[in-house]
Structure 1
Amino acid sequence: MTSKVVIITGANKGIGLALATQFSELGYTVIATVRAKAKIAGTAIACSPNVKFVEMDASDYGTIDSAVAEIGMIAPDGVDQTGMCNLGVHNIGRGSDESDVKSLDPAELETHFKVNVVSPSYFTSKLIPLLEKGQSKKIIFISSVVSSQAVTKQNADFFTAAGVIPGYASSKSALNMIALYFHNQLKPLGFTVVPIHPGVVLTSMYVTGPAITPEESASNVRGVVEPLSPTDEFLLRNYDGSILPW
């Protein structure tokens, strides 16, 4: 097994699949979580010898526990390179207008926070012992530009017209705060914690308007994250290397 081990969540499609593919091509051992291994069939990394697939459903905490146990068996010497926490949901699709605050659905709000905040936070927390064994000790949370209060204020009319979902935006803002707590407590142990906006990416969550491909997003995210170390300031970073206000 190579000394470089990276965990990619949500690796069956979109940014997760692109990240897993690129790290695999670079020679990393990739531990890729997917809801079901059957969903990865036919993808570019399905037969890659250095990609290990682990089933995990962000909406089921029990599968997180079992996934962490399996990851520990795959990489008993630790996760040497980085954890890419790409768990997320944007549009629940229950038939209501989620972007309208007059018709918020509590079930939809709960799902956004469960999948976008609770699950990635819990999963990452459980992985800390493995990350402590590694050298790079990087935790990367996939955030969003819509998590920024400043950007939201500056673009209020545009965001409203675009139908940005309050539950999604607020859950990503909460994820930033969780990331800050990880940073504050783990920095003395040599960890680097980075929330990053991956760009407006052409995926199943966003299919219209100007966007970059998952492959472009993944390449840019890797380029931003790679040089960062525990000495760097905790900031909400953009895929193009710029800093987003939070």
Structure 2
Amino acid sequence: MANPLSRTVMVTGSSRGLGLEIVRQLAVADNPPKVIIATCRNPDKATELQALARDHQQIKVIKFDVVDYKSLPSVVEEVKAAVGSLGLNLLVNNAGIMEKCSTQMFGVPLQDLEPQMFRNVLETNTIAPLMLIKALLPQLRVAAAATSGPAGAPRAMVVNISSIMASMGTFLDRHGIYAYRSSKTALNMVTKILAEDPEMKGLLFVAIHPGWVRTDMGTTVAPLRAEDSVSQMLRVVANINEKQNGVLLNYDGSVLPW
């Protein structure tokens, strides 16, 4: 990634799928970040992530369940220790869940949807990213103040991994998936609110649809490989400017309707 986003990066949900691939591609890049913080709920079981960390000393693995808000202060301290005076240039809110059942590929039929199931998805996909952004704002602001770059280039950025299924303007005709789609639509609104908040001057916020990717969540029938999705997303992120603050982007850089 191009300066300034080649400095310090944090990726949630890094034990598998898109998160793991983001960490991998950052680590092997020609100009890798100085620090890559990879979080997951169970680092001891994240064998691929741990192998990457052994091969690339800039990767720091942190145990973090995004809905464990009591752990946020200690996580923030670990981030501060890892990034030092550089602050945090890029936060990728990738961790997410989808309601599932055994009778259909995606989502849960309305008759089987329970309130707690909906709450769990909303908690993980919408509330948790916002609370993490709130907790890490001081470190994002340090990076924004410390980093210089070309005119219009972002100094510190938050990327929220969203979905085209959250787009009301596109509205793909897939039945059900009430909780996941609603939670990502809410995440899009959170992204837009942050981008318009005058208190967030110097920070950029974007939501990105990674495509339908072959992961545990996307299923094995998805057409897009994780490595292809991530390579394009990172190229897009490296070239985002202030004009794209608060937008929903496709993984190829095109703008999607809210």
Q: Same fold (TM over 0.5)?
A: yes
In the alignment, the residues of structure 2 paired with residue 35 and residue 182 of structure 1 have an alpha-carbon distance, to the nearest angstrom, of: 26
Report the CA distance shift for 1:189/1:38 in structure 2 as closer, same or farther (over 3 A): same
Farther off after superposition, 53-62 or 37-46: 37-46
Equivalent position to 1:16, from 15, 19, 27: 19
1:170 aligns with 2:182: yes
Equivalent position to 1:52, from 33, 43, 60: 60
1:232 aligns with 2:244: yes
In the alignment, the residues of structure 2 paired with residue 112 and residue 219 of structure 1 have an alpha-carbon distance, to the nearest angstrom, of: 27
Report the CA distance shift for 1:77/1:206 in structure 2 as closer, same or farther (over 3 A): same
Farther off after superposition, 168-177 or 76-85: 76-85
In the alignment, the residues of structure 2 paired with residue 131 and residue 193 of structure 1 have an alpha-carbon distance, to the nearest angstrom, of: 11
8 Å CA contact retained: 1:187, 1:230: no
1:137 aligns with 2:149: no
3-state secondary structure, aligned to 2:85: coil
8 Å CA contact retained: 1:18, 1:214: yes
In the alignment, the residues of structure 1 paired with residue 247 and residue 212 of structure 2 have an alpha-carbon distance, to the nearest angstrom, of: 19
| Structure 2 residues without counterparts, runs of 5 or longer | 148-154
Farther off after superposition, 230-239 or 11-20: 230-239
Q: Which amino acid aligns with 1:125?
A: K
Equivalent position to 1:117, from 106, 117, 126: 126
8 Å CA contact retained: 2:10, 2:88: no
Give the alignment of 1:194-233 within 5 angstroms. 194-233=206-245
Farther off after superposition, 226-235 or 15-24: 226-235
Aligned to 1:74: 82
3-state secondary structure, aligned to 1:53: strand
1:84 aligns with 2:92: yes
* TM superposition shift of 1:59: 2.9
3-state secondary structure, aligned to 1:87: coil
In the alignment, the residues of structure 2 paired with residue 107 and residue 77 of structure 1 have an alpha-carbon distance, to the nearest angstrom, of: 41
CA deviation string 1:141-178 (max 9, x = no partner): 000000011222xx33xx12xxx511000000000011
Report the CA distance shift for 1:216/1:206 in structure 2 as closer, same or farther (over 3 A): same
3-state secondary structure, aligned to 1:17: helix
Q: Which amino acid aligns with 2:53?
A: A
CA deviation string 1:18-76 (max 9, x = no partner): 11111112221101111122122244513121100111012322233321221112123
Farther off after superposition, 62-71 or 121-130: 62-71
8 Å CA contact retained: 1:9, 1:34: yes
Q: Which amino acid aligns with 1:22?
A: Q
Farther off after superposition, 225-234 or 66-75: 225-234
8 Å CA contact retained: 2:191, 2:246: no
1:147 aligns with 2:166: yes
Runs of 4+ in 1 over 4 A off after TM superposition: 92-98
* TM superposition shift of 1:117: 0.5
In the alignment, the residues of structure 2 paired with residue 148 and residue 133 of structure 1 have an alpha-carbon distance, to the nearest angstrom, of: 33
* TM superposition shift of 1:128: 0.8
8 Å CA contact retained: 1:77, 1:130: no
Q: Which amino acid aligns with 2:36?
A: V
| Structure 1 residues without counterparts, runs of 5 or longer | none
In the alignment, the residues of structure 1 paired with residue 236 and residue 6 of structure 2 have an alpha-carbon distance, to the nearest angstrom, of: 21
Report the CA distance shift for 1:194/1:233 in structure 2 as closer, same or farther (over 3 A): closer
Farther off after superposition, 38-47 or 79-88: 38-47
In the alignment, the residues of structure 2 paired with residue 129 and residue 197 of structure 1 have an alpha-carbon distance, to the nearest angstrom, of: 27
In the alignment, the residues of structure 1 paired with residue 16 and residue 82 of structure 2 have an alpha-carbon distance, to the nearest angstrom, of: 22
Aligned to 2:71: 63
Q: Which amino acid aligns with 1:40?
A: A
